[in-house]
Amino acid sequence: MSTVVLIGAQWGDEGKGKVTDFLAEKAQMVVRYQGGNNAGHTVVVDDREFKLHLIPSGILYENKVCIIGNGTVIDPKVLLEELKSLRDRGVNTDNLRISSKAHVIMPYHQRIDAADEESKGNQKIGTTGRGIGPAYMDKSARVGVRMADLVDDEEFPKVLESALAQKNRLLTEYYGVEGFDYKELLQEYQGYAQELRGYVEDVSVLVSGTIEEGRNVLFEGAQGTMLDLDHGTYPFVTSSHPVAASACLGTGIGPTKIDKVIGVAKAYITRVGEGPFPTELFDETGKFIRKQGHEFGTTTGRPRRCGWFDAVVARYSARINGLDYLSITKLDVLSGMDTIKICTGYKYKGEVMNEFPESRKALAACEPIYEEYPGWKEDISAVRKYEDLPDTTKRYLERLGEVSGVPVGIIGIGPKRSQTIIMEKLY
Ligand code: GDP
Ligand code: IMO
Ligand code: MG
C-alpha cells in the first residue's frame, strides 16, 4: 500500500499535472483536496493536450477513481463545462466523485473577487478572478453553500436566500456594483445541481476504504507552498492550503495514512500575479526562459514572471511539507544557456540568511546569493536515462538536490509522459 501526496514546492505551475499523470498509472485513485478552478494543470497524452482546472489529472486514464475533496471550492458551471469538454474528447468521466462537504463558488463570489481587486488598486493580489478567496471567506464565516446544500432541492432555496441577501447588500452598498436576482440564480443553479447530483457523496469513506484495501492513492495538490494561506508570501497568496498537510484535512483522512510526499519544482522558478519573488529576472535571460518554457498562465494566459531556482524556497518547502523527494521539471527549458545560477541563500543587512524570512519587510530587503554553473547546449528532451544526460546537466541537478536538502526522485525533460526520468521508486 502506498499513499503519495504531490505538492507544488514553489509558486504554482511547477508541472504538477504532468507528474500526477505520470504517477497515476500505478494508482487506483487520484484526489484533489484544495483550491478550485484557479488551478490549471496541463497534461499531454499522445500529443493531445488537456488543461484541467478542477478534475484530478487521473481522469485521463480509463480506470482511476477521481475524487474532488471537501477542501476544494467548486464552480458548478465550470465543472460541468470541464466534464463536457472531456467527454467531447472521448474521456470517460463516470469515475468522478465529489465531496458533499466541498463549498460552492457562486457568481457573487466572482463579482466580489473582481470588485475587491479593483478597490485595492496597486495593492491588488493579482488573483485569477475565479471567486476563490470570497468562496473560502464564506466557508470560514460559516455562510457558505456546500455541495450537499446545492443538490438538496429543499435546502438550497433557503441557504441561497439568506446568503444572497447579505451578498447583494455587500455588492450594491459597499462595492457599488450590481447584485443578483434570487429567482434567476436559483433556477440556474438548480439546473446545475440536477446534473451534478449523481457525483456527490461522502468521499472520506471512499478514500479511507481504498487505503484500507491496500491500494495506491495519489493526492494532487494545486497551487504551491509559497501561495499557501499560512505559509506563503502573505497577503500575496491564495485562500487555501496547498501544503501537504492539507491532503488529510481536505479529504477526511488522518495523517498516519500518508506514506510519502513529493514536491514538484521547476529547474528554475516562476510566479503569476503580484507579490515578492527574490530571484526574479527582469532581463533577457528572464525573457529567454519565458519563451523557451512557454511560461504563460494555463488559467488566465498571463505571462509568468521567471527567475533562477531558489534553494531557500526549496528548503522551506521541504520543511513545511516534509518532502521525501523532489520532482524537478522543465530541465529541458534551460538547454542553450551559457551559465545557470542557483540562489543558495539571501543577504539581509549584511548577513547571510538561510531560512525564508517571515516578515514582509525583511523579504523585501533580501538579496539573493548566487552560485553559477556552466550550462549545456544539447537538446535533452529525448534522453531517457540519467546517465545519458550531459555532465553539466547532471552537475546542476546534483547541486539542486544538495542545496535543497532533498533527493531528486523524478526529472522532467518535456511535457509528455515519456519525457520523464525516474531516479527513485515511489510505489
Ligand atoms: P501545474 O499547474 O503545476 O500542473 O503546471 P501547468 O500545467 O500550469 O504548467 C506547467 C507547463 O509545463 C505545462 O504546459 C506542462 O505541459 C509543461 N511541462 C511540464 N513538465 C515539463 C517538462 O519537464 N518540460 C517541459 N518543456 N514542459 C513541461
Ligand atoms: P496551479 O494549480 C499559479 C495565484 C494567482 C494570484 C494568487 C491568488 O495551476 O499551480 P486566487 O485566484 O487563488 O485568489 O489568486 O494565487 N494562483 C496561482 N498561480 N498557479 C496556480 O495554480 C495558481 N492559483 C492561484 O495568480 O497570484
Ligand atoms: Mg498551473
pLDDT of residue 427: 64
Q: Which atom of ligand 1 is nearest to the CA of 44?
A: 16
Helix (H, G, I), strand (E, B) or coil at 263: strand
Q: DSSP labels for 330-386?
A: -GGGGTT-SEEEEEEEEEETTEEE-SPPSSHHHHHH-EEEEEEEE---S--TT--SG
pLDDT digits (tens, 9 = 90+) for 303-317: 999 999 999 999 999
> Which of 118, 233, 129 is closest to 177 using CA atoms?
118
> Is 13 marked active-site?
yes
pLDDT of residue 368: 98
Q: Which of the pair, 297 or 61, is modelled with greater confidence?
A: 61
Contact predicate 157/187, CB 8 Å: no
Homologous superfamily of domain range 3-99+201-261: Adenylosuccinate Synthetase, subunit A, domain 1 (3.40.440.10)
**300, pLDDT greater than 90:** no
What is the whole-number distance in angstroms between the Cα of residue 187 and the centre of ligand 2?
A: 31
| Nearest Cα to Cα of residue 239 among 16, 391, 35, 397 | 35
Least confident of 29-38, 174-183, 298-307, 383-392: 298-307
Ligand 2 site, residue 36, Cβ cutoff 6 A? no
pLDDT at residue 298 is higher than 90: no
Mutate to test the pocket of ligand 1, among 329, 334, 381 (most ligand atoms within 8 A of CB): 329
Strand partners, 343: 310, 370
Separation of 271 CA from ligand 2 center, angstroms?
Answer: 9
Which ligand 2 atom is nearest residue 222's CA?
2
| C-alpha of residue 297 to centroid of ligand 3, in Å | 7
> Is the pLDDT assigned to residue 101 strictly greater than 90?
yes
What is the average per-residue pLDDT within 360-368? 94
pLDDT at residue 1 is higher than 60:
no
Its CATH class, for the domain covering 103-196, is: mainly alpha
Over the stretch 268-291, which tens digit does the pLDDT of each residue have? Answer: 999 999 999 999 999 999 999 999
pLDDT at 416: 96
CB 221 near ligand 1, within 6 Å: no
- The minimum-distance atom of ligand 1 relative to the CA of 20 is 4
- Per-residue pLDDT, averaged over 41-67, amounts to 96
- Nearest-CA residue for atom 3 of ligand 2: 12
User: Percentage of residues in the chain with pLDDT exceeding 90?
Assistant: 97
CA distance 412 to 408: 11
Q: Is the CB of 144 under 6 A from ligand 2?
A: no
Q: Are 262 and 19 in contact (CB under 8 A)?
A: yes
Q: What is the arithmetic mean of pLDDT over 319-325?
A: 98
313: left (phi over 0), alpha (psi -120 to 50) or beta: alpha
CATH number for the domain running over 265-422:
3.90.170.10
DSSP-derived 3-state class of residue 240: coil
For residue range 131-154, what is the model confidence (pLDDT) as tens digits? 999 999 999 999 999 999 999 999
What's the gap in Å between 41 CA and the centre of ligand 3? 5
Q: What is the pLDDT of residue 36?
A: 98
Q: Pick the residue whose CA is nearest to atom 5 on ligand 2.
A: 127
Ligand 1: nearest atom to the Cα of 43: 16
- The span from the first CA to the last CA of the chain, in angstroms, equals 8
Mean pLDDT of 22-40: 97
312 C-alpha vs ligand 1 centroid, how far in Å?
Answer: 22
**CA distance linking residue 161 with residue 218, whole number of Å:** 38
Residue 242 Cβ < 6 Å to ligand 1: no
Residue of 21, 41, 228, 332 marked active site: 41
Look at the pTM and tell me if it is higher than 0.75: yes
Say yes or no: CB of residue 14 within 6 Å of ligand 1.
yes
- Distance between CA atoms of 122 and 134, rounded to whole angstroms? 20
Q: Is 127 in the pocket of ligand 2 (CB under 6 A)?
A: yes
* Average of per-residue pLDDT values in the chain: 96
Task: Indicate the pairing of strand 351-353 with strand 339-348.
Answer: antiparallel
Strands 103-104 and 73-74: parallel
Closest alpha carbon to 328 in 345, 342, 309, 315:
309
What mean pLDDT comes out for the span 105-114? 98
Same CATH topology for 3-99+201-261 and 103-196: the answer is no
Burial of 31 (0-12, 13-18, 19+ CB in 10 A): buried
Which of 20, 37, 42 to probe ligand 1 with, by most ligand atoms within 8 A of CB?
Answer: 42
Name the residue with the closest Cα to ligand 1, atom 11: 15
Regarding the beta carbon of 329 and ligand 2, being less than 6 Å apart is answered: no
Residue spans per domain, the chain: 3-99+201-261, 103-196, 265-422
Q: Hey, what's the cell of 16?
A: 504538477
Residue nearest to atom 23 of ligand 2 (CA): 223
- Which is the closest atom of ligand 2 to the Cα of 224? 10
